[in-house]
Every structure is written in structure tokens, then in C-alpha cells.
Chains A and B, each alone.
Chain A
Amino acid sequence: MSDIELYLFEADKNKMEAQRVATQSAGRLEAKTLKLIDLITSLEPYINDKDDGSIRAKSVTYLADVLSSLPPRVLSGQERRLLCDFILGRIEGDAEGIGASARALIALEGLGKWDADTVQKVLRTFIDNTHPLRQFKLQTERYALVQLIDLLLAKYRDALRQLHESDHEFMTGFISYFEGEKDPRNLMIIFSLLQVPMTEWDIHACAQDLFDSVFNYFPITFKPPPDDPYGITAQDLKDRLRDCIAANSDFAPYAFPQLLDKLDSTSMNTKRDVLHTIQACVLGYEAKTINLYSVTLWDALKFEILNVQEEDLALESLKALGLIAAKFAETAEGPLNAYLRPVIKECNEHLEDAPTKQSEATGRILHALAVSGPAVADKISKGVLPVLFSLYNGSQSITKRRGLLDVFNHIVAAYVELDELQPNTNTEALQAYANDALEAMIRALVNAPKAEVSFRLASLKGLTQLVSTRNALSEKEGERAVDTITDMVLHEQFEGHGDIRAQAIKALTDVAHSIPLVVRDRSVPAFMVELLDNPSEGSVLAPVLEAFAQLSTERQIFDTIALRLKNKYGVARHQGAPQQYQRSLLLALLYAFTFGAPMREDGIIRSAYYTEYAEPLLTDIASRPAAEQDHSTLDIVGRIVNVLLRPQGVHFQSTVYNKNLQWLSSAGKDEMLAMALAPFTLQYYAGMKAEVADAEDIVSVLKAQAHLALHASSDPVGVSTVLRHLSLLVNKFINPKTMQATLEASGIEVGVLLSATASSQAIGAAFAVVKGLLIQGKSGALATRYLQALLDILASEGKDVARHFATLLAPDDILSKENHCLVSGLYKQKIFNQSVPFMIDAVRTADASIKPNYLIALSGILRWLPYSVIEPSLKSLIAPLLQTLDLNEPAEQEVKASALIIFESLLMHDPTIVAEHTASLVTRLLNSTAGPANKADVRAKALQCLALAPRQLKREAVVPYRRQVVKRLQACLDDTKRSVRTEAVKCRTAWLGLDEGNEDEE
């Protein structure tokens, strides 16, 4: 059998085998064991079969398959020409196998480039003989045709343009050729190939036809079938169609009227598409074309902004309006004036009855336009500001004035944004009214009744923006603005009028970023006047200090602020000012170094700050006896030292370390003094890098701290500080290899601590040591053993031990990477795996009397874990968590709260897991909403969980409880706490909403 016979035999049964036959023929052609002429001759009886079209089609397919498998340079140029003519000749008489013909031609083109004549002939033959495309029922056939045409348009632009230019009829056939195509894969290619004539050819004469041929598809409503293998989305089609519509200015007369017509659609998606397309058109079409439609577009688009239906539609419309303005801003002035004239006129009209929805929209419109270019902003200002200020001055109504100021602020905001993009924007038009505005706003802030919050807020915002606009205000005017805001910050402290003081502080820091030197020269002295050296006990200067500290976020005035605070502290301390005031000054300094903008070298806070600020404080501490040490002052000083010391290099730290070693170690020997200094030493050692400290020194520090932890009977805060210090030392400084020996030598080996008659101090110390080890993750076996030891004593000890479990994972700002501690990446997962399964088991088997121990300990671990860690074990956790909700002792409120938080996330993320426990969960949640046994935050959290149930669980699962829940929630509506009542209302609304739409069933 010849190859063609074999191929025809296999074609319907086994595509792969048929393909193989074709490849084999190609191989023989390449090896020259088969001549092309023989191959064609062998085709003859089949390719011309008179009776059976499908045989003819398959023969062409064979030819296409053979050609596709041929490597280049097997066929000579002449052979390729002949083949091309042969295939085209067939098409004229017979459309069977048209897809295969196209594929054969694509293959041929791949074997060697065509000349212009061939290209034109190919396209001609197809358009003339296979028009229209939709006559072919198979998508694959049409797909091959479009692919061929796409290939031609991509590679042979000139040849085809000549074809169009020499024959004016050609385009008509070409456009209508694709009519009626519906398949998204084909459309994707058609939209793309049509862009060649649209953008490159002169299509003025047939613009309407060409436009209609694509606009017929607008708006695209295509929904890809589920598991669509081609992955074409509606958005892909929309993008390509939009590019077509925006491709040529000649489309404008058809595009804009039709698009605006569709803007009236009731479908939000259609409107969205229209707006995107209008934007694309504005960008794509020439300015002189847009000029013809600018006012029409304004008239249509403004409604989307004046009467907002959907916020995003308004935003897109604003963007479109801005794009039009930007288009003209680049070119001539005439079109811009023509466009802006009606806009300004209408906006001015809306200003007359401000504040309304329309006047608010006006502000947005003016902003969107002005921000599109300095020239536009200039015209807007010249057109609107005179009217705005004459209305402002002509009205006594504060609400009206506020509405006008809002609009003004929108315009200034545009200037601020423009200036960020291109500095030195021309602000002349604004300057003309800047003084009016400044006066009006200062008057509002100084004289308006304090209850007019929005008016004053608008003024404050305007003032900040004016200051931020370069050149808008003169130096004198800038100073007045700063003075006004400073005055508000300083003197409006104790009255409750909204958040205006907070806003004023923010405004002042913003202003400080724009004109730091003015703030330094005007505000800083004013603040210093307020901050007395030695205020009386009762005066409250903390708010002033807070505001002052926030100014440190501006780099250029940071040093001034820090220095003034330091000096003030020195004076206050010298004069014996109240402790509270001294602490506030130190806190302000700490704030400045933590959140402010101190000078940096290579990204690190300059070490000079340590020498200038921290060292004097440290010397001061070292010189005082135990009785004069103030616990919370020491804590703050410690934090200042910590923040300045910890980023410094080993060399610098070593110097500091050695300098302080002596007095610190001698202080460590005095139990009283060591205890008093604990808050400071904790922060000090936290800032040190591990390699700075000498191992032996550290062991003696550890011993001293261990002694304090086990023996000193002090206030709980002091003890907790010492315990945190233990965790820190264990985590950072002690060599993991000799860990157990070191712990033994210091008397805090966990096994020993937990032996028979463990005191509460010993247990605390044990937990502190284990915490340091667990987070470190370097002494895995030891940590595991110790953790198990802690778990084991749960069976015998009281609830106090169980409560300690919450400390293991509690966040701790000492044990952090910034403090050079060793923090294992997976320590939370590890602790979870090593303790939670054990406790779940224990809860199941334990005696009723000790079961609460496990529940409390479990919740202590769980409360700090991220949901993702708990997630895999949720199923087994539900039972213990539900039992936790039954704990009713007052001491267990926190435990309950943390269980409720887990239920909350559970209901949010994995409601199916709780579904089978709905009954027990609803009952327990309801029980937890009752006061006074439950604290307010537990009641509120329980209500929040309960409110999630009807939303997250299946309807039929919760409906049976509706009556009961709604009834019992009535009691919660009368809870003693307002916050709980608010949650009760939300919760009850959620449950009441359950019966919507099923009245028939009940």
C-alpha cells in the first residue's frame, strides 16, 4: 500500500498512526527515496475523488501533515511555488479540506518566505473563494484560516497594504469575511489581526464597516465554560476588542455615540466596559478628534459622578475626564478652553448651594481635572476660585463655607500632587487666592465655635495643603499657618470636640515635613514655653509632650527636639520636678528615638546619640543607692539605652560593656540594689550582642538573677522582670553545649526545680528557663525533656501551674531578633506538636478534678498560636475547647476568652468542622453571654461568635435554634456594658435575619 492509502485507512481510526504515516512520508522525501512529484501523483485518485468529499478532505490533510513535518531546505523554491499554486488552484474549485489547505500553506510559508505576489494571491484566493468564513462549520477549520490570515498580516504588511490601496473593493470583502464568528479562540485572533489595517492602513472610506464589524461584539458577555482548556477569559476578549475600538480616530463618529448610548445601560458591567473603552479611545484617538466630542463626553460622564451609582464607575468616569484634559494639555489651548468652559460653568453653579452631593462631586471633578496637568490646574483655578471666594465671603453660613472649603481643598490637593510629580509647578493662579484662603482658614480655626468640627477640620486640612504647595504662600504666611496650628495643639487640649487635636498634631507634623525650619523657629520655642521646668504636681503636660515628640519624625528638626527634651529633663531633675513629669520627658525622648527620624550612618542610628543621650542617664543611675532608684524610670532609661545600643557594632558595644562591667557586677552582689536595678539591667543586656559579653561574667550574672528569682520576695512586677532576664540569658548568652551544666551550677536546672516540693518561685523560674530554650531551638532534646516535665506536673499540681503555660508562647519584646536573641523559625509549631496532642489525650482520660488543669494549660498554649498552626488539629481540639467554655471560675475568664477567639476563627475559616457540634456550641455560647459570672469581654466575644453562626453554618443546621437564641439574646440587649449591648444587637440582627424568605415553611 502506498502511504496515502495507509493514511486514509488510519485517518478515522487512529489519528496518531495516521500522523506517523505522514511523518514517514516526509522522512522519505527528505531522504530522497520519494520524489515530490510521485507523492502528488499518488494523491490524485483521492484528492479528486468525485463522490466522497471526506476522502478529498483527508487527502489534503495528509498533504498538510507531510508538509508540516518537513524540515527546511528539502523542497526547492520552485517546488514550493508549484505546491502553493496547486493548493490555491484546488481551493478555487473545491472547498473540502479548507482547514488543511490553510495549514499546508502555513507549513509552506514556514519553509521559505513568500514574495509580495504570492502573499496577495493567497489572501485573494481565500477571500474570493471561501467568503464568508462562517460557512465552515468546524471551529478547527476556521481557526486554521484565521491563523493563516493572521500570519500574512503579521509578516507581510507592505504587500497587503498595496493590495488594499490598489483595489478599493478588497476591504469590503475582507471586513465581511469574518462576520458572524462566535468562537472566542478565533475572535481573539481576529481582533488582533484587524488591528493591522485599523492602525496602519488608510481606512477612512470603510471606517464605519470596519468599526461595526468589531463593535457588534460590544459588550462582551462571554463566560468561559467550567474547566475551559484554552483559558481565554472575558477580560482577554474585552482587552483586545477595546484596543480595536480605540485603534483609529476615524472610528470616533461611530464609537462615541454608540458608547454613550450604552452608558445608559442598566448593567453595571456594561457601564464599566463603556468607561474603560472611552478611556482607551481618549488615549488612542488624536487630540483634534477628541476635541469634537469633549463636551459631549463631559455631558454624559458627569452624571456618573454627580449621582454615584457605584463608586468604581464614578472613579472611572473621573479618570476619563482627566484623560481628556491631559490630552489637550499637551497640545493647543483652544480645545482645552472649549472643554473646560462648560465644566467650570457647571461646577460654579453647583458651588452656589454647597454643601450638597453635587458640590461634593464638584470637588472630585475639579481635582480629577486639575491633577491632569499644570495648565489645566491653572485654568481651573482661574475659573473657579474667584466664584468660590466671592460665594464664601458672601455667605454667613458655616456649613456652606465648609462645603466651599472642601472644594477648595480638592483643588489644592491637585497642586500638591502635581508638585510631587514635577517640582516647580506654576502655582500663580492659586497664589492669587492663597492669602484669601489662608485668612479664611485661620479665622475658622481661631474664631469659629469649637463645635463646628467639620468646618475646622476642613480648614486645618486646607492649611496643611497650602503649606505643602511650594510657592503658594509667602514666608510670612507660612509662619502664620504654623503659628495657628501650633496654638491649636498647645491650647486645645481638654475640650472634647472630635479628634481635632489629634488632627492638629498630624497637621503640624505634616507641615514640619514641608517647612521644617519654620517649625523649628516658631513651634519649638512655643512648645518650650509650655513645658515648664518644674510644673506643679497636678498639671498635665503629657499631651504637650506627646505632640512635641511627634515632631521628631521630621529628620531636619530631630536633633533640635531631642536636645531640648534632654535639657528639659536635666533641668526638671535638678529642680526636683514631679516624678511623673520626669518620666514623661524620658518617654518623649524614647519616642523620638524609636519612631522619630534620628540621623543614621549606613542605616544605623549614629553611635554619637548613645554617648550624648544614653551615657549621662546611665552614669546618673550608677551613682544612686538602691533606695533612690525608681522602678519605672529605670525601665524607660533601660529602653532608651537599648534602642541606641543594640544596632551598634561589636567594637562599640564592647567599649560600653567594659566601661559598665565593674559597677554592674558590684551592684549585682547587693541583693537590694540588684533587685532595684532589674528593669534597667534587663534592657541593657537585651541590647548587647552575645559575643560582647564574657562567658564567665554571664555565668555570674545568671547565678545572681537565679538567686533573685528563687529567694527575693518582691512585688510581682519585679519578679517578672527577673524571670524575663533569666529567659534572656538562657536564650542568648549561655552556650547551648554546656546548657544543662550551667543551669545546674546556677541552681535552676528544671528537673531540680520541679522536684517534689516546688515553691511557686521555683515553678516560675522553671517556666522562664524553658521559654528561653524553646524559642532558641538549639538545645532541642533538653527543651523537649523539660517541656515534658512541665506537662507531667499538671497531673499533681494546682491550677496555678497550669496558668503558667500561657507564658511560654506569650509575645515578649525582649526575646526578639532585634535584641540579638536566637529565635527559631518553627518554635511555635514545635511547641504545639510537643504539647498539644499530649494534653488532648490527657483531657480525654483525666480525672474530673484535674481535667481543668489540662484545659487551662492547653488554652494557654493555643491562645498565642496563629490559626495556621492550629488548623490541622482542629477536629481533635473541638471537644476540649467546648469543655473550656464550661469552666466557670472567675479566674478562668481569660482562658474562656482565648477559647472563644479560636471558635471565632474556626467559624470564619472552617465552619464545616464545627457544624456537627452546633447544638453544644450554641448552648455554651449562650451560657457565656450571661453576666456577671462572665466578664464583659467574654460576653462580647461570645456574642461575636454566636453572630457568625447563622452566616457561616448551613441554614438548616441553625434554624432550629433561632427561637431560643433570639429569646435569650433579649437579656443581652440589657447588658450592663454598652460594648456588649452593641454586639448583642449585631448578633440578634444576624439571627433574626434567618427567617427571610421562608415564611411559607414555618
Chain B
Amino acid sequence: MDADKDNANPTIINPSDLPSRRRSAPTAKRPGIFDALAPAYPSLADPLSSPEASSDSASSDEEREEIDEQEVYDLISTISDPEHPLSLGSLGVVKLDDILILPPTSPRSRISTVRVLITPTTSACSLTTVIGLGVKVRLVNALPPRFRVDVRIKEGTSRTADEVNKQLGDKERVAAAMENKSLVNVVNTMLATCE
């Protein structure tokens, strides 16, 4: 069975080393253990204020949290690799540093671009196209329409990079691929682990 795989024993990144929003957030901001000691129950005078409402949403509800690289990373890092029961993030196929959000090119345009570079686990990985397709489908479904999704293979990491990039860049070929039932099934299994 192992012989079928392009890379039977890839290096795995430990989950705690993966980039996450919590990891980079400063510790001090999180609620301390003492906060729970004197809980703020809805009081009689102010009946409908619950603890959650008073702590975060009320004050900052209007503030906009922009879609950033970390958010894009969170969307695609949980996709499963088609041949290992592991996530693309833990295999290092998608990396935070290889995600780039480009603002609209002209002031009149609303269209931003998300560029994702994929690093296959080996340069001969035959499933690179499928992985790219999965990432693309995930982002098209999960990002608002004002983003153009550009998924490519990172330069120098795959022998078939040019070929694959051409396929992924071509709207019609992507659409045609998604008409192919067996391909759709593979992509769906990959995406099944996404939350």
C-alpha cells in the first residue's frame, strides 16, 4: 500500500508549531482565572445583560476585523491531504508565509486578490493538481466574491508546476474538473475535515 504513495513518510509539523491567531495574541489580554471568581450574573437591575455581552461584543461590535492572511490560512490548513490522514497545514503544504492578500489594483476596483502558494510534499507528487483544486474550491466557497483566488505551486517545488499552474489558473478547466464526479468526490473528502 505504501508503495502507491509518492511520499510515504513525510515530515509532520507539530500542531503547536502551526501558526494560529491565539499563538500570536498577547497573553495579557485573555481573561484571568480570577475573573470567574466573581461572576457577573445578569442582575436584577440590568436584567438582560449577560456576561458575554458586556465583555466583548457590546463595545467592539462596530469595529471591523479585516480578512487577513491568518484567516485564509485557517480556512485551508485543515484540508486533508488526499493520501495521508493529515492536514495540509501539518504537512507544510500550505504555509502562512506563502499566503498573500493583494489590495485592489486601482482605487475604483473592489477586487482584492488572495494568492496562495502550495508546496507539494515531494517534487514528484502526482496529486499536486488535486490539492491545488481543493484549496481553490475551498477558498472560492468560503471567501466573499470581492476576492479573486489565485492558487499556484511554489516555484521550484514541483516538476509539473507550470502545467499545474496553467490548469488552476484557467476558470473553465477548474469548472470542468468540478463536473467530474470522481474528482468531486476526492475534493469533498479532502474538504470534509474543514470546519
Contact = CB atoms under 8 A, between A and B. Distances in A.
Interface of A: 307-308, 353, 355-358, 360, 399, 402, 452-454, 457, 493-499, 501, 540, 542-543, 545-546, 549-550, 584, 587-588, 590-591, 594, 632, 635-636, 639, 716-717, 719-721, 723-724, 727, 764, 767-768, 803-807, 810-813, 860, 891, 893-895, 932, 935-937, 970-971, 973-974, 976-978, 981-982, 985-986, 988-989, 992-993, 996
B176 interface: no
B31 to A, nearest CB: 11
Contact of A812 (B9, B11, B41): B41
A813 B74 CA distance: 39
Contact of A587 (B34, B45, B75): B34
| Residue of B2, B24, B65, B71 ringed by the most chain A CB atoms within 10 A | B65
The 9 A-B pairs with the shortest beta carbon distances in the complex, nearest first, are: A720-B43, A454-B14, A974-B144, A723-B44, A720-B45, A716-B45, A587-B34, A973-B144, A976-B64
Contacts of A588: 34
Contacts of A721: 43
Contact of B16 (A355, A453, A985, A992): A453
Interface in B80-128: 84-85
A527 to B, nearest CB: 16
A653 B68 CA distance: 59
Given A457-B16, A720-B43, A974-B67, 12 more contacts: A454-B15, A494-B27, A542-B34, A546-B34, A591-B34, A723-B43, A860-B47, A894-B49, A936-B61, A973-B142, A985-B142, A989-B141
Contacts of B61: 932, 935-936, 977
A935 B57 contact: yes
A989 B78 CA distance: 14
Contacts of A550: 33
A767 B48 CA distance: 14
Q: Is the interface of A mostly helix, strand, loop or mixed?
A: helix
A355 B12 CA distance: 7
B37 A591 contact: yes
Interface in B29-72: 32-34, 37-39, 41-50, 52-53, 57-58, 61-65, 67, 71
A494 B184 CA distance: 46
A812 B22 CA distance: 32
Contacts of B22: 498-499
Contacts of A497: 23
| Residue of B16, B75, B191, B195 ringed by the most chain A CB atoms within 10 A | B16
A813 B39 contact: yes
| Residue of B14, B24, B37, B48 ringed by the most chain A CB atoms within 10 A | B48
B17 interface: yes
A353 B11 CA distance: 9
Nearest to A493: B27
Given A308-B85, A720-B44, A804-B47, A496 B24 contact: yes
B63 A976 contact: yes
A895 B141 CA distance: 32
A717 B54 CA distance: 14
Contacts of B62: 932, 976
Given A543-B28, A717-B45, A986-B195, A894 B53 contact: yes
Contact of A989 (B32, B46, B142): B142
Contact of A495 (B27, B52, B184): B27
A894 B54 CA distance: 12
Contacts of A499: 22
A356 B142 contact: no
B183 interface: no
A497 B85 CA distance: 27
B175 interface: no
Contacts of A720: 43-46
6 contacts: A355-B14, A811-B41, A860-B47, A971-B144, A973-B142, A978-B65
Given A806-B47, A932-B61, A937-B52, A493 B39 contact: no
Nearest to B145: A970
A498 B44 contact: no
B186 interface: no
A264 to B, nearest CB: 10
B165 interface: no
A982 B158 CA distance: 32
Nearest to A399: B11
Contact of A807 (B14, B15, B33, B44): B44
A356 B12 contact: yes
Contact of B9 (A358, A453, A894): A358
Nearest to A718: B45
Contacts of A891: 48
Nearest to A727: B44
Nearest to B179: A999
A958 B47 CA distance: 37
Contacts of B12: 355-357, 360
A937 B44 contact: no
B46 A894 contact: no
A936 B58 CA distance: 9
B53 A635 contact: no
Contacts of A493: 27-28
Interface in B131-169: 141-146
Contacts of A893: 53
A636 B38 contact: yes
Contacts of B45: 716-717, 719-720, 723, 764
B37 A639 contact: yes
Given A357-B9, A717-B45, A976-B65, A495 B14 contact: no
B25 interface: yes
A811 to B, nearest CB: 6
B37 A807 contact: no
Given A591-B33, A716-B43, A719-B45, A356 B28 contact: no
Contacts of B74: 982
B29 to A, nearest CB: 9
Contacts of A454: 14-17
A587 B37 CA distance: 8
B28 A807 contact: no
A635 B143 CA distance: 48
A499 B23 CA distance: 7
Nearest to A972: B144
A891 B53 CA distance: 12
B43 to A, nearest CB: 3
Nearest to A992: B141
B174 interface: no
Contacts of B14: 355, 402, 453-454
B27 A639 contact: no
Nearest to B57: A936
A308 B52 CA distance: 41
Contacts of A399: 11
Contacts of A639: 37-38
B113 to A, nearest CB: 15
A238 B48 CA distance: 58
| Residue of A308, A457, A973 ringed by the most chain B CB atoms within 10 A | A973
A543 B142 contact: no
A804 B191 CA distance: 46
Given A894-B48, A986-B195, A717 B43 contact: yes
A719 B44 contact: yes
Contacts of A356: 9-12
Contacts of A353: 9
A496 B16 contact: no
A307 B2 contact: yes
B95 to A, nearest CB: 14
Given A399-B11, A803-B48, A976-B63, A498 B43 contact: no
B82 to A, nearest CB: 16
Contact of B44 (A767, A935, A976): A767
B43 A724 contact: yes
A402 B74 CA distance: 24
Nearest to A811: B41
Nearest to A636: B38
A988 B32 contact: no
Contacts of B11: 355-356, 399
